[in-house]
């Protein structure tokens, strides 16, 4: 039991470490993308930026977002295994967040977090190997990074990614059979899929499905998807503003950035909050996004471009309901967090009580 508690505490600490190192990248990427895309024009291919300067700013923002997930997984591994875990964690996080293998599967931030933990514990195990003194000096810079990246990378590509790719193909087929009378249920499913991994394979499956329907002139599911894209970051922005005692100063600053990301439909703005408190944040944003998607489908909202957030309002059919769906969904998520997320003071008190109880047990 004590080993289990230690494992979960180590992982929680590692997640918090990963998030703290990731935050600046999220803020830089989110703000630059928001400013650049705000000057763009909505087209069939998404928001098109015509200014060369703004395009360069957009590229810098995209670079910030590209670094976000590798930083998260890298510093998760670093927290668990020290310096030798940093590079394997970053590489595996990058791999998890980008298409790879025959099925070109990506698992997003959830996959990156898992690979960060796996890298941390694998490297920690490697550090226990008894090797000759001549080899010991090159262990942290050569042998451990190479072996851990190779073993875990190949395991991810050949074992983990294949069933995930098959599951995503199955999901697309199921969604394809749910049009017409199942409109509201389809909206619920699309909304939930959009929020559950925020840019991961489930989210991308919803994107692929809605893009395929757009090619056939069906824009309703894309409306639900684009509504749901904006809900998680807006919900967390609202929560950090309403429940000030539940968030650190870093979280509050990130809430501002998250608000701007919600305006341009960047769901990833909620990832740092989910990584830090996944058991409360993830259910809240899934429910809110599901409700928003359902409202969009029920009211006939149509998004005519493959982008989300309030920035595309000019090219939305059913503008009022589109805005209402986003706000209602975000408000529901924020309300759930209000009732489930403890204040920082309560959390510290709980930790102190647990430590005191442990000391009493040891004394007995």
Integer Rg of the chain from CA: 22
Task: Report the alpha-carbon distance of residue 263 to residue 302 in Å, rounded.
Answer: 17
Mean model confidence pLDDT for the chain: 86
Question: What pTM was estimated for this model as a whole?
Answer: 0.81
Place of tokens 């262990």: 139
What is residue 290's predicted lDDT score, i.e. its pLDDT? 96
DSSP class of 49? P
Task: Report the alpha-carbon distance of residue 102 to residue 29 in Å, rounded.
Answer: 30
* Bridge partner residues of 42 (DSSP): 47
Closest CA to 331 of 298, 279, 301, 295: 295
Q: What percentage of the chain carries pLDDT values higher than 70? A: 92
What is residue 315's predicted lDDT score, i.e. its pLDDT? 87
> What would the 3-class secondary structure string for 250-301 be?
HHHHHHHHHHHHHHCCCHHHHHHHHHHCHHHHHHHHHHHHHHHHHHHHHCCC
What is residue 350's predicted lDDT score, i.e. its pLDDT? 58
pLDDT tens digit sequence for 171-206? 777 776 666 667 888 899 999 999 998 877 888 888
DSSP track, 95-146:
HHTS-BTTTTB--HHHHHHHHHHHHHHHHHHHTT----HHHHTTIIIIIHHH
The C-alpha angle 256, 44, 229, rounded to 5 degrees, equals 30
In the predicted structure, residue 46 carries a pLDDT above the cut 80: no
Within 8 A by CB and 6+ apart from 254, the residues are 23, 26, 27, 240, 272, 273
Place of tokens 């005191």: 356
């Amino acid at each position: 039991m004590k080993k289990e508690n230690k494992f979960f505490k180590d992982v929680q600490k590692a997640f918090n470490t990963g998030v703290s190192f990731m935050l600046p990248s999220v803020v830089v990427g989110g703000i630059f993308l928001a400013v650049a895309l705000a000057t763009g024009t909505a087209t069939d291919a998404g928001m098109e930026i015509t200014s060369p300067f703004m395009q360069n700013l957009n590229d810098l923002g995209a670079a910030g977002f590209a670094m976000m997930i590798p930083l998260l997984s890298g510093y998760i591994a670093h927290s668990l295994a020290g310096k030798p875990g940093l590079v394997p964690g970053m590489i595996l996080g990058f791999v998890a967040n980008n298409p790879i293998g025959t099925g070109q599967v990506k698992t997003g931030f959830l996959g990156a977090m898992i690979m960060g933990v796996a890298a941390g514990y694998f490297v920690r195990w490697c550090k226990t190997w008894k090797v000759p003194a001549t080899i010991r000096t090159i262990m942290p810079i050569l042998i451990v990074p190479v072996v851990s990246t190779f073993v875990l990378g190949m395991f991810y590509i050949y074992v983990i990614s294949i069933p995930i790719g098959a599951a995503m193909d199955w999901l697309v087929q199921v969604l394809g059979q749910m049009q017409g009378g199942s409109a509201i249920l389809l909206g619920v499913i699309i909304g939930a899929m959009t929020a559950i991994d925020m840019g991961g394979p489930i989210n991308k499956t919803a994107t692929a499905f809605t893009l395929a329907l757009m090619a056939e002139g069906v824009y309703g599911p894309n409306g639900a998807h684009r509504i749901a894209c904006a809900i998680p970051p807006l919900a967390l922005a609202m929560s950090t503003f309403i429940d000030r005692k539940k968030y650190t100063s870093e979280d509050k600053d990130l809430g501002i950035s998250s608000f701007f990301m919600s305006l341009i439909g960047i769901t990833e703005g909620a990832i740092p909050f989910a990584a830090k408190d996944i058991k409360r944040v993830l259910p809240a944003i899934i429910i809110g996004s599901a409700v928003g998607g359902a409202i969009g489908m029920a009211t006939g909202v149509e998004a005519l471009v493959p982008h989300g957030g309030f920035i595309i309002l000019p090219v939305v059919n059913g503008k009022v309901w589109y805005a209402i769906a986003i706000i209602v969904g975000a408000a529901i998520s924020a309300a759930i967090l209000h009732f489930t997320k403890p204040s920082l003071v309560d959390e510290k008190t709980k930790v102190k009580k647990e430590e005191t109880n442990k000391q009493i047990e040891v004394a007995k």
